């Protein structure tokens, strides 16, 4: 094979192969490339200024996509330029996106693979270390984020994710219209959300925010009132139903606390069953729940109350919603279900934000979906120490999903 055929196969615009080496035993291929004769435009890697004079040549070796069974490396001739602004700098070329020893298209391939597989799998596939794959993936995501337009924030979601005993909580701010997470903060204090408003948004951007879906959590409300006083707070279904689930669980624990033997066996592992909606359970699970209810009517009552609270969001008129909530609270009388009474008081204290659901059109289920995506990533990645990486990953996940939907619609 002649060198210009190698050049065609490599397909790096502006570069030609002038030497190659094949190691059949080690299954490696090495190509030496330099600029084609007409390719004289140099770009400063510091500022992007175009220059014509090169002052020095040196070589760099990078991994490229594999050729069949061969692991390929490319040795490039690169120029150093004397930039009037930056001084002596290396030139910038499209095929080398960073200082790391990988070609752009290899990084793109690794990044793309990381979208649908765990780092461990991708590392195996490309014969790279896990830490290298993570670093490549992060750069891939950073390049994607830098190149795209960020949509305006008009409706925001604020949610917290429980990370575990050590790291505790993560505050997640998301854009409800695009369904993507925008920012992560450690902990869930007022100061946490303050930081988002102060550092991430200009006062103009803050004034564009019309509504915020949040949990009934005082520190968040205080922060919202301070930074975006004109924004309507909506206490959404997802968060309220989380509280309802927690109340049912509290009833279950109180009821079965001192019970032993057979009763304990029936209750065991039923926590998530009680948190599930009845309509989502199969016959077997429904039977399991019925066994539990036969043992304890109070747990059943609490479960039914949780189930009926869900219907609150089927009303679109304020008056009807309020009437339904009142009748729901009336059912609590004489039941002596303390956790449910506590929930009712909480709902009454946040009535305005609950009824705001009828006043503002807010996409439902977005906060829940964002939350679910992040939890799925956390499970798959076994703990992201780098929050920025986790955020980019979750943003990319949200964006590629919408792209996919848009594509499907067009087709």
Query: Which residue from 371, 74, 150 is spatially nearest to 239, judged by alpha carbons?
Result: 371
User: What are phi and psi for residue 84, nearest 5 degrees?
Assistant: -60, -30
Instruction: Choose the stretch contacting Zn ion; rule: CB under 5 A; options: 4-12, 77-85, 138-146, 209-217.
Output: 77-85
User: How far apart are CB 96 and Zn ion at their closest, in Å?
Assistant: 17
Kindly write down the DSSP assignment for every residue of 324-355, as one continuous string.
Answer: HHHHHHHTTTTT--HHHHHHHHHHHHTHHHHH
| DSSP H or E stretch at residue 85 | none
Which of 46, 130, 363, 381 touches Zn ion by CB under 5 A?
Answer: 46
Nearer CB in complex with Zn ion: 53/85: 85
Instruction: Choose the stretch contacting Zn ion; rule: CB under 5 A; options: 38-46, 119-127, 128-136, 293-301.
Output: 38-46
Number of C-beta neighbours around residue 69 at 10 A: 7
User: How far apart are CB 143 and Zn ion at their closest, in Å?
Assistant: 20
SS3 call for 19: strand
- How far lies 94's CA from each of 80, 101, 102, 105, 146, in Å? 15, 14, 12, 10, 15
43 binds Zn ion (CB under 5 A): no
Which of 22, 47, 88, 94 touches Zn ion by CB under 5 A?
Answer: 47
Cβ-Cβ contacts under 8 Å for 341 (sequence gap 6 or more)? 332
44 binds Zn ion (CB under 5 A): yes
CA distance 155 to 336: 39
CA distance 154 to 212: 9
Instruction: Choose the stretch contacting Zn ion; rule: CB under 5 A; options: 48-56, 113-121, 196-204, 221-229.
Output: 48-56
Phi-psi region of 160 (alpha: psi -120 to 50; beta: other; left: phi over 0): beta
Nearer CB in complex with Zn ion: 49/210: 49
User: How far apart are CB 78 and Zn ion at their closest, in Å?
Assistant: 15
Distance between terminal CA atoms of the chain?
Answer: 43
Which of 69, 85, 265, 330 touches Zn ion by CB under 5 A?
Answer: 85
81 binds Zn ion (CB under 5 A): no
User: How far apart are CB 87 and Zn ion at their closest, in Å?
Assistant: 8
54 binds Zn ion (CB under 5 A): no
User: How far apart are CB 49 and Zn ion at their closest, in Å?
Assistant: 5
Nearer CB in complex with Zn ion: 71/92: 92
Instruction: Choose the stretch contacting Zn ion; rule: CB under 5 A; options: 19-27, 49-57, 179-187, 212-220.
Output: 49-57
86 binds Zn ion (CB under 5 A): yes
Interface with Zn ion (CB under 5 A), residue total 7
Query: Which residue from 194, 183, 184 is spatially nearest to 219, judged by alpha carbons?
Result: 194
User: How far apart are CB 81 and Zn ion at their closest, in Å?
Assistant: 8
CA distance 203 to 200: 10
Which residues from 344-403 bind Zn ion, rule CB under 5 A? none
Which stretches within 28-157 are classed as H helix? 104-116, 119-126, 130-147
The answer to whether 41 and 52 are in contact (CB under 8 A) is yes
Which residues from 205-224 bind Zn ion, rule CB under 5 A? none
83 binds Zn ion (CB under 5 A): yes
Nearer CB in complex with Zn ion: 83/391: 83
Instruction: Choose the stretch contacting Zn ion; rule: CB under 5 A; options: 80-88, 104-112, 294-302, 394-402.
Output: 80-88
| DSSP H or E stretch at residue 25 | none
Residues that bind Zn ion (CB under 5 A): 44, 46-47, 49, 83, 85-86
């Amino acid at each position: 094979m002649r060198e210009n055929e190698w050049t065609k196969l490599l397909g790096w615009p502006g570069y030609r192969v002038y030497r190659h080496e094949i190691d059949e035993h080690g299954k490696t291929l090495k190509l030496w490339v330099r600029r084609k004769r007409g390719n004289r435009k140099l770009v400063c890697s510091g500022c992007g200024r175009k220059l014509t004079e090169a002052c020095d040549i040196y070589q760099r070796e990078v991994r490229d996509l594999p050729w069949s069974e061969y692991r390929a490396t490319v040795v490039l001739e690169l120029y150093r330029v004397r930039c009037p602004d930056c001084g002596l700098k290396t030139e910038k070329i499209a095929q080398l996106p960073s200082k790391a020893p990988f070609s752009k298209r290899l990084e793109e391939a690794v990044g793309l693979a990381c979208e649908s597989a765990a780092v461990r799998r991708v590392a195996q596939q490309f014969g790279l270390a896990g830490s290298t794959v993570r670093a490549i993936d992060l750069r891939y995501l950073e390049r994607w984020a830098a190149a795209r337009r960020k949509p305006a924030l008009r409706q925001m979601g604020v949610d917290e994710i429980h990370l575990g005993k050590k790291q505790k909580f993560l505050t997640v701010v998301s854009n409800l219209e695009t369904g993507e997470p925008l920012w992560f903060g450690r902990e869930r204090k007022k100061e946490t959300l303050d930081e988002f408003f102060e550092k991430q948004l200009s006062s103009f951007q803050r004034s564009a925010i019309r509504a915020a879906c949040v949990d009934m959590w005082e520190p968040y409300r205080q922060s919202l009132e301070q930074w975006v006083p004109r924004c309507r707070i909506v206490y959404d279904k997802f968060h309220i139903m989380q509280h309802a689930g927690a109340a049912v669980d509290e009833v279950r624990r109180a009821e079965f606390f001192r019970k032993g033997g057979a009763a304990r066996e029936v209750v065991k592992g039923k926590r998530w069953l009680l948190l599930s909606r009845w309509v989502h359970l199969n016959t077997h699970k429904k039977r399991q729940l019925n066994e539990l209810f036969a043992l304890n009517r109070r747990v059943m009552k609490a479960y039914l109350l949780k189930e009926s609270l869900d219907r609150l969001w089927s009303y679109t008129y304020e008056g009807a919603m309020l009437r339904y909530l009142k009748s729901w609270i009336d059912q609590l009388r004489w039941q002596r279900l303390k956790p449910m009474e506590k929930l009712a008081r909480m709902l009454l204290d946040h009535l305005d934000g609950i009824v705001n659901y009828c006043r503002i059109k807010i996409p439902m289920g977005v906060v829940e979906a964002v939350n679910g995506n992040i939890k799925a990533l956390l499970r798959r990645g076994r703990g992201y120490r780098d929050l920025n990486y986790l955020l980019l990953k979750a943003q990319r996940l949200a964006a590629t999903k919408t792209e996919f939907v848009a594509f499907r619609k067009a087709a």
